[in-house]
Chains A and B, each alone.
Chain A
C-alpha cells in the first residue's frame, strides 16, 4: 500500500510564538536535523563544530530524517525536545525539502526548543508558503545562497561562515521581540 503524506494545512492567519531564548550557547546541547539532501549534513556538521569551538556549546548530534520532503519523524522531535537545548535544521535545497525543513523549525519552536531552519535562496517562496499554511506566516527562517549540492568542502566553509552569525542570532534572540 502506498501512503501519501501531505504536511500542509489550510490555516493562514496567526503569529509565531517562539521558544524562550537562552542568554548564550555556552554549555548547550545542539541538535542538528539533516534532511538527506547532498551536502546538508556537511553544512550542519561545520556549523556544529563552530558552535562548539567558538560559542562554547557542549556538543552536537546529527539526526537524519527518513525523507527530505516531510518533517522529522516523531522520534526525532521527541528526542530533541527531551535531550537538547537548541536545534538547527537544513539544508532545504529543493521545493519539498525546504518546506519540510521550515516545518521542522516550527514544530520544535512549538515544543520549546529555539530553532533555526536553513533553506537556499531559490526556495524562499516555498518556505513562506509552508509557514503560512501552519498559520505562522511571520516565522523566520534563514537563507543560504543556492545551490549547495555541488560545492566542495572549502566552498561550504564560505557559506557556513556567512550564515553562522545569523544562526547564532536567531537562536539567542526572539525574532518577534
Chain B
C-alpha cells in the first residue's frame, strides 16, 4: 500500500490523539495489512480515548474516504501494549 497516502488519510485522527497525549503509529507488516498503534505519551489521558471499536470504525471510515482498502487493519490500543 502507499503508506504515505494512508498516513495522510489518518492525519485528522492523529490530531485527535495528540490532543489527548497519544501518538499514532502506522505500519504495513504484510502487504496491504495495516497495524495501527495508539501509543501513550508521558501526559496521555487514558480516559479520553474512545472505545476501541469506535476507533477502528473511525480508521476504516477515513481510509475508505481516501479510497484506500487494506485487506486488514489491526488496532493496538495502550491496553494491548502491556
Contact = CB atoms under 8 A, between A and B. Distances in A.
B13 A125 contact: yes
A interface: dominant SS: helix
Nearest to A149: B19
Classify the secondary structure of B's interface with A.
Answer: helix
B20 interface: yes
Interface residues on A, range: 20 to 34
Contacts of A69: 47-48, 50
B19 A147 contact: yes
Contacts, number: 62
A132 interface: yes
A125 B62 contact: yes
Interface range on chain B: under 10, 10 to 19, 20 to 34, or 35 or more?
Answer: 10 to 19
Contacts of A7: 51
Contacts of B61: 125, 128-129, 132
Given A122-B19, A125-B12, A147-B19, A94 B45 contact: yes
Interface in A93-139: 94-97, 99, 122-126, 128-130, 132-133
Interface of A: 6-8, 10, 67-69, 94-97, 99, 122-126, 128-130, 132-133, 146-147
